[in-house]
Every structure is written in structure tokens, then in C-alpha cells.
Structure 1
Amino acid sequence: MKRIYLILAISFMTLLLCTPVTLAREVTVQGYGTTRDEAINDALRNAVEQAVGTLVDSQTLVQNAEVVKDEIYTKSRGFVQDWTIVSEQRSAGQTVITARVQVDTNPNSRLMGQLQRLKLIEQGLRDPRIGVIIPEYHISAPIPDPAGETAVIKKLIEAGFSRMVDARQIQNIRYTNTVKSIMQGNRDDAISFASSQGLDYIIIGEAFSTRNSYLYGLVSCGARLEAKIIKADTGEVIATNGLYGTGVHSSEFIAAKMALNEAGEKMGDYMVQQLMAFASNPEKGVQLIVKGITSYNKISILESELKQLRGVKNVYVRGYNGGIVTIDINYTYAPKTLASELEKLSGINLSITDISNSGIQAMMKY
């Protein structure tokens, strides 16, 4: 009998040692915002900060000449695994959310299931419309119905991205100079094309396949696929990579397709990971473009007032030319909320002319 208990004990300990440990921590936090979505975003950010505890930047927010509170913000890429809303209250135009949040404290973890990904797609990326354009060439000849592009789209759909642009909608542009220009970093072409197609993000690239060898009636082909994710409204590059694939078949054309498909699947996985990492960081960048500026003093006043707004973490003046100023803002809430606050500024009179997923355009009024 003792021997049986000993065997059972050893088996149990072995099972414990072999079971993978998920570095996750559950915390209960509150989030505040003018809308429910903003309150959830605030709660998720607070949970990541509390659980991960990576103190990168400390900033004191000042409002109405009083110190509101000292906020600790984190740049950690820890993932929110799941959350449950415990209570929800709305009072005086503000929503308060209390939530139990499970945060994965391993920054390299990919332990996010379909439900968590769907939540991040909806909450962190605002259910984006994505276009994928990856022209393919086999020994310098264009390939119809690109396999790598199809594989990337398939991976994104499997991850939960539902608003993918039909490849047939943009097939006429696939092998044009516009795609080459965007790949070479032409920001204006990227923004113009995205606007014409109603896109929030563009995944754009190129793929090449070549014949490697021929042996025993089989052709071996290799492929390389390069691609990057671009925020459509600002032209910002979120991620970029180049990956390889191989294929073997009696037909050289099919072997090339197999190699391109393998490279495309790898790229699709990579793009999903990068979009999820981007979504899991609740502090997003908003680009503000203001026209009609008559002096640099106005920019200084605008910069100072922006820093006092709730949710604004950092403000960077990127350029000023011809009466137009471009400002990058690290902001935790939705652009539409920031736009509403901009029209209430006391020292500057702005009229909002355009709002996108991560950009605002305004005109100075006098």
C-alpha cells in the first residue's frame, strides 16, 4: 500500500513539473472615461501597470491649477489575457468600470486564445478595416492570384479580423507603381491609397520565388516575402519583416506557390502577433494637424494646453511649415474624445475638420 501511495505521489509531482506555468496575475482595478469603451481601456491600462509593475515614465497631470494625481505609465508589452466587468456606474457624464483583469506577465507570451484576440481587436484596434497587397514574382514574372497574400489574409481572418478587404477590390493596383512607391516609404501615397479604399491599416509588401534545384523529377523552390503594416491615416509603420519559405513538387509553378504560401503563413502569424501587441498597449498615438497657425507662440500655447488634458501622456511637435503644425500625442482614449476636448480649449480656438482612427485635423479660428 505504501508503495502504491509513493508511486501516486511521484506521478503527481511529475505531472506538476511537466505542466506549463502561465505567468498570469489577476488584479481588480477601476477605469474611468466619458464612454464605456474608454473606461474599459483605462481599466486595462491600470491592470497592466499594476500587474507588470514596469515603471518607465512618471508624469504629473495638472488640471485647474491643482495637482490631480501622479500617474505611473508603463511601456510594457504584457498582454491582457481576459477580463470580467464586476460593476459599471455612470454619474455626471463619467463612466466608472470595476473589472477583474488577468494580465500575462511574460512579455514574450503568445498565450492568447481566440476570445482574448477578439476582445483586443474590438477594444484596442476598434475593429479595423485591413487591406493586404503583396505582389508576387517567380523569376521576375508576375504570378496571378498570389499565394503569399492569400495566406496572410487567411491567418488574419483565423485570428478574428473580420473586416478584410476583398482581394478582388484591389487587384488592379497590385502590380502598379503605387504599390512600389508605398513599399519604398512614400507616406503620402500610402495615406492617399488607404483613404480611397476606406482602410484603417495596410499590409503591403513583395514576394519573390526562385528555382533552387531539380532532383529525381522534383523541383525545389525558395521564396522570400517582405511586408509591413502601415497605419492608414498617419502613414506610421507599425511592424516590418522579411520571411522565407520552401516548396518541392514535380511542377516548378506549384513548387513556387508552395514556397510562397509557406512564407505567407509565417508572415500572417507575425502580423497577427504585431497587431495584438499594438492593441494590447492602451496608450495609442494620435496625430494632430492644425492649419491656419499664424505664429509659433500659438503652437506653444496649444502644446501647453494639450499637456493638461486628461489622458494625454506626452506631446511632440513634429513640424511647422506654411501655417500648418503637426503634433504627435500619446493618448489613452479615443480620438473623438480628444477632438471634443480640443474644441473646449481656453487659450486656443480650434474647429475640428476631420477625425480618423488615430488622427485629427483642425483649423485655427480667430
Structure 2
Amino acid sequence: MRIATLLIFTTLLMSTTIHADTTNPTIIVAIPEYHISHTVPDPAGETEIVKILIEHGYSVVDKKITAQIKENDKFRAILQGNKKLAVEIGLQFNADVLIVGEAFSESRGQISGFQSCRARLELKAISTKNGKIILSDSDYGSGADTTEFIAGKKAIQSAARKLGRKIVSAFSLYENKISTSKYTISITGIKFEDLTDFEKGIDTISKVKSNSLLFFEQDKASYNMIYEGPVRELARKILQLNKSLGISLSHFAGNQVVFTVNK
């Protein structure tokens, strides 16, 4: 299963005078931040979530692509619960999951000579296949610095770090609930005489229901495989079972996985 997420946040940093009542998989992250009426450069929440997603193997699309979405009326409608629009935008960007949310930060005054801020970040992860909510959660963060502006960014970053881990866990559970899928497994640089050892390794993977060779040409082979689980799990198991062949993972996308023999 290819998890591609479209992640959009609008983030507000507020002072105490204002009271504010969330393969390779593809991810779009857009989290604007504002200090009163001024846009915050390099938003901390966006940066932190992008970092966590990349660390867990997700590809992140340039945020310039989603700049137009933040100015679109549909964004506010999605935040208010319009699942139909969430599906439309997700499909527009070829995303399987759309994540939308908001973050708010406000000053808590000085603590030990430092400006202190508290932040709340809330989000929803919505499947663009059926509009089902995969994750709906929120969290808090705190930050302190010599300026209120930086303290607010740190507070938002702290909240984003917590929710970033929750997003990854939710995606993992979602992938594991996916029904049996058909995958295309390709391998380059392999000798014909090594195909038997490769296939024997595949046969020992418990959730592989069938595996058939599509073709072998020169040093390239391709298989059709039915597996009960996500593509990343399958790729990891194949690597573990075929270490003797010197196999490395080249890339995966959608239901296709490509390996290379490095010998």
C-alpha cells in the first residue's frame, strides 16, 4: 500500500493580549505560521513534522506546491470537517492520505528571565479513498527563549514532535489493516542460477500467498506476488532473507519494489 500524505497546517503565534479559542510514499507539508499579523519564516511545526516523516521513509514534496491550497477557501472547509473536499484535494495531488490541522501558541510570560510560550496543535488524517478518518488527535508543547517569537516556535515544534510520532504510528496501523495486495517485485543484476535461492527465500515469508515469475532477461527478473501486508514490510523481509545474494533495495513506489544485486 502506498501511503502518500498531503499535510496542511495553519499555525498562529499569539501574544497574551489575544486569546485563541493538527517506495516511496509522497508527502506534501504546508504549515504557515503567524506572529500576530506577520507570517513566520521557516515554520517550526512544518519543519519538525517533515523531519519525522523523512526519517521514517516518506518522501516530502516541495512545499511551494501547496502554497495555493493555504489560500483556498476549501482549506478552511476541510478544517471544519468537509471530507468530500479533503478527498478531492488528496486526489488532485495523488495523495492517499490528507492531513489537515491548526496550531496555536501564546505567551505565558517570563520564567527565570526567559520568555515562555505554550502551544496546542490539532490534526486529522483522512483517507482519500473513502473519507475515513485515520487519526484525529491533538497535543501540547512548551518553549522558552529570550524572545517571545522564538519561544512560540519552540512550543509549536514540541507539540509537532509529539504528533509526528503519532502520525507515523497511525500510518503503520493503517497499513497493517490493508487487505491482501498484489505486488510487482523486480530485481536487477541477478544471475539465472541464483533465482532458485531468491525464490526459496520468498517462499519462507509467511504472509506471501503466491509468487510467480513474470520474466527473466539477461540479469533482470520480475515477479508477481500476493502478500498480506504493506509494501515496506514486504521489502524489509525480502532484504533480511536474501542477504547472502547481496541484495539492496533500490526503491519502491505504489505496489512496485525494485531490488539490485550488488555482487
TM-score (norm 1): 0.41
Q: Shift of the alpha carbon at 1:144?
A: 4.1
CA distance in 2, matches of 1:187, 1:333: 26
Q: Shift of the alpha carbon at 1:191?
A: 1.5
Q: Shift of the alpha carbon at 1:216?
A: 4.4
Task: Show CA shifts across 1:299-331 (max 9, x none).
Answer: xxxxxxxxxxxxxxxxxxxxxxxxxxxxxxxxx
* Other-structure match for 1:156: 53
* Other-structure match for 1:7: none
CA contact (8 A) 1:127 1:161 kept: no
1:136 pairs with 2:11: yes
Query: Secondary structure of 1:206's match?
Result: strand
Aligned AA for 1:148? G
CA distance in 2, matches of 1:263, 1:333: 31
CA distance in 2, matches of 1:201, 1:193: 10
* Other-structure match for 1:146: 43
CA distance in 2, matches of 1:230, 1:277: 14
Q: Shift of the alpha carbon at 1:137?
A: 0.3
CA contact (8 A) 1:226 1:242 kept: yes
Question: Runs of 5+ in structure 2 lacking a partner?
Answer: 15-35, 181-227, 231-253, 255-263
Question: Runs of 5+ in structure 1 lacking a partner?
Answer: 1-125, 285-331, 335-356, 358-366
Q: Shift of the alpha carbon at 1:234?
A: 2.1
1:200 pairs with 2:96: yes
CA distance in 1, matches of 2:43, 2:68: 13
CA distance in 1, matches of 2:6, 2:111: 39
Aligned AA for 2:116? S
Q: Shift of the alpha carbon at 1:256?
A: 0.5
Q: Shift of the alpha carbon at 1:232?
A: 1.7
* Other-structure match for 2:142: 246
Q: Shift of the alpha carbon at 1:176?
A: 4.0
Aligned AA for 1:150? T
Query: Secondary structure of 1:180's match?
Result: helix
Task: Show CA shifts across 1:95-146 (max 9, x none).
Answer: xxxxxxxxxxxxxxxxxxxxxxxxxxxxxxx232222111100125454432
Task: Show CA shifts across 1:209-248 (max 9, x none).
Answer: 0001124431000100001111123221111100001000
Task: Show CA shifts across 1:234-284 (max 9, x none).
Answer: 221111100001000011110000000111111100000011011122438
Structure 2 residue corresponding to 1:211, chosen from 98, 104, 107: 107
Percent identical among aligned pairs is 33
**Structure 2 counterparts to residues 162-241 of structure 1, below 5 A:** 162=59, 164-241=60-137
Aligned AA for 2:75? V
Q: Which has the higher contact order (CA 8 A, sep 6+)?
A: 2
CA distance in 2, matches of 1:132, 1:144: 18
TM-score (norm 2): 0.57
* Other-structure match for 1:260: 156
Q: Shift of the alpha carbon at 1:175?
A: 4.9
Q: Which runs of 4+ in 1 moved over 3 A?
A: 140-145
**Structure 2 counterparts to residues 310-349 of structure 1, below 5 A:** none
Query: Secondary structure of 2:95's match?
Result: coil
Structure 1 residue corresponding to 2:169, chosen from 250, 269, 273: 273
Q: Which has the larger radius of gyration?
A: 1
CA contact (8 A) 1:207 1:223 kept: yes
